[in-house]
Structure 1
Amino acid sequence: YIGSFFLITYDALAVNFAGALLLAHSMVIAAYMVHECAHNTIFKSNKANARLGGLLNWITGACYGDYEDIRHKHFRHHMDRADVVAFDYRPRFAAHPRFMKLLAALEWFYIPAVEIVMHLLVLIVPFILPSRRHRRKRVLTVMTIRLVIFSALVWYAPQVALFYPLAYLVFITVMRFMDTHQHTYELLETLEQERGKEVEQFDRDFEQRNTFSNVFSLRHPWLNLLVLNFGYHNAHHIRPIEPWYRLPALHHEVFGDDCAQVLPIAHLFRAYHRFRVPRMLNADAADSGVAERRGEGFIGVDGVSFLTAH
């Protein structure tokens, strides 16, 4: 991570591009390490995991929100077997056609506009939801610190104003690609409420039927290390406390060499490209035959990143 900043501040364009890719990859690994911390798989101590998770959030840019809020949202995702949010952005965005046209144009050009807005909402929600008012001071403090650091870097090397945002866009795109096709879960606006009876219908069988593994390769498992084995998602949902480096073995132990829930990555790349605009307001129905179609025609869902705790 630190080395990538040396590269993007270096006076050579090719080195700057290499630095941006390295920075994006550092953010991806940091994000999935936050995920590991949320499951307490790094240290035996919950406090140690929380400290590391909070530190890594500064690398991912998710530090405007509180680590415990991120952990709570992800905990509800596993417990409720649903995509649990504070509010569903889809009807709210759809009510503003001009805004939607702008987002659609950006998405058509592969700019992850919806995800960017969802991350920006982390800064805005504390000034809208009464239950998040106590986060206002944190948002303003973190914003000031990051703006000062960013301004200093741009003053030292003006190209940082281009290559840091570029790295962040690559990071957000990778994270969204991994999230988009991992579930056909119900979307519930219950994050600000206690866990209710509406989730009792979602049992372990439902969870596995509507969870999908988007590994880059089963034949060459080292490729999956690019995203810290996050693609072994069915194995992760079977045993959430299993650390990232054991997920390939757990997947093989449970599913062997033939798992219907593993979707061919080529199909998912094709679907990600084809449905990049329709996906903006989509929410796939549960038990919609995704595994039977091997992921063909799988639109997927936006706005479900574990880094946005709303």
Structure 2
Amino acid sequence: MGIFRYSDGVLPNTLAFTYAIGGYLLGFWLIAKPDLWLNLPGVLLLGHSMVIAAYLLHECAHNTVFRDNAVNARVGSLMNWLTGSSYNSYEILRRKHFRHHVDRADVVAFDFRPQLARYPRFVKLIEALEWAYIPAADLFMHAMSLVVPFVLPSRRPERARVLWVLAVRASVFALIAWHAPRVLLFYPLAWMLMLHVLRFMDAYQHTFTLFDTLEQGSAANPTKYDAAYEFRNTFTNIQSVKYPWLNLVTLNFGYHNAHHEKPAEPWHRLPALHAQLYGDHCSQILPFFNLLSAYHRYRTQRLLNADPDDLDVLSDQGKTFIGVDGVSFLTGH
């Protein structure tokens, strides 16, 4: 029967995993070399290999890669380590993401926006970093992964994991830095590149209501948050309509309406599913360059923004779409 869930997924998944793992190792080797002309391509390769690893983690969470769900969990956990988000267990990330699909909402353990707003000087610092294209909001959310188990009683069992993952990663990076100190500069650059790509995609895929009820039951009203609500508050932000192969840069994650319509459909089938569902006239497509411009223009305003649901972003094709930070599937809170 084979290890993969779908026969037509053998080649694309093999290529994707080869690129994610091979690119990660080769990228690390390049950023450790003493030549700048190798370091810079290494940053790009390492950053993008982590992007693909993140989306493969997402696929494993949906059990679309391997026939055995336990294998999906093990491989998803490996991808979790590659992306640097392993302070959160794979199961916590998976549980949070499934709440997003089931509740048809952005569900978090806490909403950082009102908390940050209480400290205007700290907000100004983060805004200054964001202005300089340092993804401070995401860095803050990932840093909170180290803190949340020591604050939320429900996350107490995760404390030991946080400490041993921190010890392992710190030890490994200390050894690498001792051999090649420049890694201390180039790895963070690659990781921030990954953060920018992931949050660019996340910021513009929904205008969902945000609930800070991850540690409780669902707060979503199923009458309001129905399939029609899900469709009109979900957007397809592919890189290109004309050249579909460009969408492999984010492993077809931009076909987001199709993904929400059929979450169990594997990434390599999403273009065909999109065509089947919407043909050549999907009302929810937002042009890539409009969103790229908005991502640049609203990079500081986005920090404390929370778009209301049913926000009209289609009338100007996303040109004034501020978007939302802090809803990454790589943070479990």
Q: TM-score scaled by structure 1?
A: 0.98
- Percent identity, aligned pairs only, is 57
Which of residues 89, 106, 109 in structure 2 aligns to 1:86?
A: 109
User: Which deviations, in whole Å up to 9, do the C-alpha atoms of 1:234-272 show, x marking residues without a partner?
Assistant: 000000000000000100111111112000111101111
Aligned-partner SS, 1:64: coil
User: Which deviations, in whole Å up to 9, do the C-alpha atoms of 1:161-190 show, x marking residues without a partner?
Assistant: 111011011011111101000000000011
Distance 1:155 1:3 in 2: 19
Which of residues 282, 293, 300 in structure 1 aligns to 2:316?
A: 293
Moved >6 Å (runs of 4+): none
Which of residues 166, 172, 195 in structure 1 aligns to 2:189?
A: 166
Aligned-residue CA RMSD in angstroms? 0.9
Q: Is the 8 A contact 1:87 1:189 kept in 2?
A: yes
Q: Is the 8 A contact 1:8 1:15 kept in 2?
A: yes
Q: Which residue of 1 aligns with 2:54?
A: 31
Q: Which residue of 2 aligns with 1:125?
A: 148
Which of residues 120, 123, 127 in structure 2 aligns to 1:104?
A: 127
- Following TM superposition, by how much is the alpha carbon of 1:199 offset from its aligned partner in structure 2, in angstroms? 4.3
Distance 2:27 2:297 in 1: 32
Which of residues 148, 157, 162 in structure 2 aligns to 1:134?
A: 157
Which of residues 74, 88, 91 in structure 2 aligns to 1:65?
A: 88
Distance 1:53 1:302 in 2: 24
* Amino acid corresponding to residue 109 of structure 1 in structure 2: A
Aligned-partner SS, 1:23: helix
- The 3 A distance-change label for structure 1 pair 64 and 197 is closer
Q: Which residue of 1 aligns with 2:39?
A: 16
Q: Is the 8 A contact 1:260 1:292 kept in 2?
A: no
Q: Which residue of 1 aligns with 2:221?
A: 198
Aligned-partner SS, 1:79: helix
Distance 1:256 1:249 in 2: 9
Q: Which residue of 2 aligns with 1:243?
A: 266
- Following TM superposition, by how much is the alpha carbon of 1:293 offset from its aligned partner in structure 2, in angstroms? 2.3
Aligned-partner SS, 1:223: helix
Distance 2:55 2:207 in 1: 21
Aligned pair count?
310
Deviates more, 1:117-126 or 1:193-202: 193-202
> Tell me, which stretches of 5 or more residues in structure 2 are unaligned?
1-23
Aligned-partner SS, 2:312: coil
* Amino acid corresponding to residue 255 of structure 2 in structure 1: Y
Distance 1:270 1:5 in 2: 31
Distance 2:164 2:82 in 1: 16
